[in-house]
Amino acid sequence: MKSLVRLTLIVAALSLPQLAAAQQQNPRFPPLSADQLTPEQKAWAEAIAAPPRNAKFFNPPYNIYLRSPELAPRLSALSDFVRWHTSLPPRLSEFAILLAARQWTQQFEWHAHYPLAIKGGLDPKILADVAAGRRPAELQDDEAALYNLVTEIYRDKKVSDATFQAAIGKFGERGVMEIIAIIGYYDLVSMTLITAQAAPVKDDIPELQPLPK
């Protein structure tokens, strides 16, 4: 009985932020009740409520991941790694996440990670430039190496020798691979949120402006 009550609370916590954020009467991925979940979905819902995640922090895309109980734990494991266990400090890993959000003009992802980047030490002036679609005017050497790598991957679909060597010099082969993993995972998150039509909650974070055509 206690397990059922706990699961009900978990699913409610997972679903409600999505509905509040998206402000939709008919969300594309409606909230699931505990009695609708398969044993595999229930097991993942229980696991995702444990630290460092907690039920009160549930937001998209997790309610959407729940639709595929075999895929969900693999995605959340990758999420845990790229957010908390790479060799990059939060200032840089969150910067990479926000550059992925910028690529897709994904407001939900941008609003979720903007305060984490600031907390990690990233200068708000950098994010103001990114939000406006400009190259940041003032970047530390490691921030510039990351920005150039990510920008060339997205914009040019290739990485120049100079950019690659600068990134290797700052992050090593491990760090470069982890930057690629971060933006790759958050590309998937962006596509999930776009499909779900998830919208950010109202706050005072500057929104991403449309990129020039």
Give, for all 213 residues of the chain, the pLDDT tens digit.
Answer: 445 445 544 544 544 444 444 445 678 888 877 788 899 988 888 888 777 665 333 568 988 998 999 999 999 999 999 999 999 999 999 999 999 999 999 999 999 999 999 999 999 999 999 999 999 999 999 999 999 999 999 999 999 999 999 999 999 999 999 999 999 999 999 999 999 999 888 889 999 999 887
- Closest Cα to residue 182, out of 62, 73, 83? 83
- Quick check: is 146 in a domain? yes
What is d(CA 131, CA 105) in angstroms, rounded to the nearest whole number?
Answer: 9
| Residues 64 and 109 occupy one common structural domain | no
For residue 111, what are the domain limits? 90-196
Helices 90-104 and 124-131 pack at an angle, to 10 degrees, of 10
- Quick check: is 36 in a domain? yes
What is d(CA 8, CA 199) in angstroms, rounded to the nearest whole number?
Answer: 24
Cis peptide leading into 52, omega within 30 of 0? yes
With helix as H, strand as E and coil as C, how does 89-131 read? CHHHHHHHHHHHHHHHCCHHHHHHHHHHHHHCCCCHHHHHHHH
- Quick check: is 205 in a domain? no
| Residues 130 and 95 occupy one common structural domain | yes
Q: Is the pTM of this model over 0.85?
A: yes
| Residues 179 and 115 occupy one common structural domain | yes
| Residues 173 and 94 occupy one common structural domain | yes
| Residues 67 and 144 occupy one common structural domain | no
- Quick check: is 206 in a domain? no
- Closest Cα to residue 149, out of 98, 183, 107? 183
What is d(CA 62, CA 131) in angstroms, rounded to the nearest whole number?
Answer: 25
- Quick check: is 164 in a domain? yes
- HSE of 90, CA atoms in CB hemisphere, 13 A: 11
| Residues 13 and 63 occupy one common structural domain | yes
| Residues 62 and 98 occupy one common structural domain | no
- Closest Cα to residue 115, out of 190, 209, 205? 205
- Quick check: is 84 in a domain? no
- Quick check: is 211 in a domain? no
- Quick check: is 203 in a domain? no
Cβ atoms within 10 A of the Cβ of 123, count?
16
Q: Judge contact between 59 and 48, C-beta under 8 A.
A: no
Place of tokens 């020798």: 161
What is d(CA 75, CA 71) in angstroms, rounded to the nearest whole number?
Answer: 6
| Residues 68 and 7 occupy one common structural domain | yes
Q: How many structural domains are present in the chain?
A: 2
